Amino acid sequence: MSVLAEAMAGSRPRTPAGRLVAALNHWAIHVALGLIGLIWLVPTLGLLVTSFRPRSDIQATGWWDIFNLHLTLENYRQVLEAQGMLPAFMNTVFIAVPSTVLPIAICALAAYAFSWVRFPFRDTLFLIVIAFLLVPVQVAFIPLLTTATALVPDLQLTRGYVAIWLAHTAFALPFGIFLLRNFFITLPPDMIEAARIDGASDFRVFSQIVVPVSVPAIAAYGIFQFLWVWNDLLMALVFVQDSSKYPMTRAIQNLLSQYGTEWHLLAAGAFLLMIVPLIVFFSLQRYFVQGLLAGSIK
């Protein structure tokens, strides 16, 4: 129990009337929290139930008609095979994995320099990184698309994944550098100095001391970045121009504009998009929340 809850529990009213009021308050709290739980669960649950209901049932009755529930996997089969959600799922994986690994590596290197290497203007440069935290991706769209085409017309970066990997990586850097640097500087200086006195190079200090002891922070950042990329639509709209390489978010957006009322397809598609983040969330909740907390109190 929390410190606050303990403090509150420690002040039990002593009169019978006071106890009654406290009990009513207590019930009000349970009812309010129950209501909040419902509001936050039911919309998602409704879509989940719908994704398993046959199309004819969906059009006849609402998903809350649970006494006539028939379940089927047909919607998932259809959306995966006929609507191309299986290749879209793979595309999302192909986009998300490098767009997570690259920023982790590059941010860890830079964060090490900002915390344990001395060089002039280090703090000024770091303040610039903090300012970069808020640069909106929108400023990059037009220059990157037009310059890339103008410089190397044959390369057609947006036909493949390279453009979106690099764009995701670059825009992940300010936050990642900030987060990891703030963790790295909390490491004990003695540990790093001792290694240096023993003759370890900066790269050895980085790879054999700083990175191994920072695994929790790196994991928190990695999870955050992975989910960010997995869930992204905007960058994919701009930097993935080949329809055979569309990630799930774009595939669902297309489904919605083509079959806006075919809820059996939309529900199944949306759950295919949600399943990996939900697994990540429930299995790695602690790291995920840590990453968010660290990122927000900036």
Nearer residue to another protein within complex by CB, 73 or 131: 131
DSSP secondary-structure letter at 52? T
Between 65 and 104, how does the x/- string for binding to another protein read (CB under 8 A)?
----------------------------------------
Q: Which two tokens stand for residue 45?
A: 């649950």
**Contact pattern from residue 135 through residue 174 relative to another protein, giving x for each residue in contact according to CB under 8 A and a dash for the rest:** xxxxxxxxxxxxx--x---------------xx-xxx-xx
CA dihedral (84, 87, 93, 98) positive or negative: negative
Residue 111, CA distances (Å) to 42, 59, 99, 178 in order: 42, 54, 18, 7
Among 177, 209, 211, 218, binds another protein (CB under 8 A): 177
- Which residue in 16, 17, 39, 153 binds another protein (CB under 8 A)? 39
| C-beta closer to another protein: residue 215 or 234 | 234
243 binds another protein (CB under 8 A): no
Binding of another protein by 59 (CB under 8 A): yes
| Separation of CA 141 from chain center | 22
Q: Does 246 bind another protein (CB under 8 A)?
A: no
Task: Sketch the per residue contact string, 199 through 218, with another protein: x for CB under 8 A, - otherwise.
Answer: x-xxx--x------------
Q: How many other CB atoms are found less than 10 A from the CB of residue 25?
A: 11
The identity of residue 48, as a single letter, is L
Closer residue to another protein in complex, CB, 81/193: 193
Q: CB-side exposure of 107: number of CA atoms within 13 Å?
A: 31
Does the footprint of another protein cover residue 293 (CB under 8 A)?
yes
User: In terms of DSSP H, where are the helices of 198-247?
Assistant: 202-205, 211-213, 215-231, 234-239
